[in-house]
Amino acid sequence: MPTVPPERTPLPEREPHQYRQMAESFGADAERYDRTRPRYPDALVERIVAASPGPEILDVGCGTGIEARQFQAAGGKVLGVEPDARMADFARRSGVEVEVATFEAWDAAGRKFDAVIAGTAWHWVDPVAGAAKAARVLRPGGRLAPFHHVFQTPPEVTEALARAYRRVAPDSPFNLGAQPTRSALEGYQRLFAKIADGIRAVGGFSEPEQWRFEWERSYTRDEWLEQMPTFGNLTQLAPDKLAEVLAGVGAAIDAMGGSLMIGYNTVAVTAARIGTA
């Protein structure tokens, strides 16, 4: 999930993309990541494909290839760019072509694309440098569409995570220990505004729009605890601290009857490349 704390105070001193160690930590357990992270809504994939002038798609921060495979299944020809070689290896084994680099440093070598997408990864990219690079590699009419899963846990689980995280990582800049004051979706508007501002700052794009897809999924206790270690703010916890966090959240889920419903909003901030080159 995105490691963005906008609904919490105090805010970290730096933007998420400046925490490079965390940004490139997901490959610590690529198998678990691919097994447990949710797929993207088919309606989102279809809408981006329909709004792009051709099938060539660049997937920024493709990770293990989750959305890349979905876009392939929808007829896309996908190239991934991914800085974590462990994630890239997994994606390649699953049939996705990947080049290992951050998007900012990646050499496009003159190639052009019909869409630049990013699945829950654009918050790890400099929003202005990223939009500028996308503008250079998109054909006229090509679509920039970074999208993020935003999930909302039940309050009991949110509070249990906050309590445990405050105990094990009191100094974390990603202050999960602070109580959220707004819904996750409201909290993420700060990130979405930054993405849109980056696109506007670069110019050469239509006015950014938000496309939102709402869905929900039920998890058993074990399914949720299996996914949690893939969250950016937990990937770097020592095993004993991670175990403490999982125990706290697990107890809260047990008290709710052993399963929980997670509400998801998957939101794309998207704009079309205008101009002739």
Ligand X SMILES: C[S@@+](CC[C@H](N)C(=O)[O-])C[C@H]1O[C@@H](n2cnc3c(N)ncnc32)[C@H](O)[C@@H]1O
Q: Which residues bind ligand X (CB under 6 A)?
A: 23-24, 26, 37, 60-63, 66-67, 81-84, 87, 102-104, 119-121, 124-125
Give the nearest distance from C-beta 169 to ligand X in angstroms: 19
Parallel, antiparallel or unpaired: strands 97-99 and 77-81: parallel
Give the nearest distance from C-beta 119 to ligand X in angstroms: 3
123-126 long-range contacts (CB < 8 A, ≥24 apart) are 123/2, 123/3, 123/4, 123/16, 123/17, 123/148, 123/191, 124/16, 124/17, 124/23, 124/61, 125/17, 125/60, 125/61, 126/17, 126/198
Give the nearest distance from C-beta 264 to ligand X in angstroms: 13
Residue number with the shortest CB distance to ligand X?
63
Give the nearest distance from C-beta 86 to ligand X in angstroms: 9
Q: Which is nearer to ligand X, 26 or 205 (CB)?
A: 26
Give the nearest distance from C-beta 150 to ligand X in angstroms: 13
According to DSSP, residue 103 is labeled T
Q: Which is nearer to ligand X, 60 or 150 (CB)?
A: 60
What are the respective helix, strand and coil percentages of the chain, to the nearest 5? 45, 25, 35
Q: Which is nearer to ligand X, 230 or 252 (CB)?
A: 230
What burial class does residue 236 get, using C-beta atoms within 10 Å of its C-beta: 0-12 exposed, 13-18 middle, 19+ buried?
Answer: middle
Q: Which is nearer to ligand X, 102 or 153 (CB)?
A: 102
Q: Which helix (H) or strand (E) holds 198?
A: helix 184-202
Q: Rounded CA gap, 41 and 27, in Å?
A: 23
Give the nearest distance from C-beta 222 to ligand X in angstroms: 21
Q: Rounded CA gap, 9 and 179, in Å?
A: 8
Phi, psi of 186 (to 5 degrees): -60, -40
Q: Which is nearer to ligand X, 67 or 252 (CB)?
A: 67
Q: Which is nearer to ligand X, 37 or 273 (CB)?
A: 37
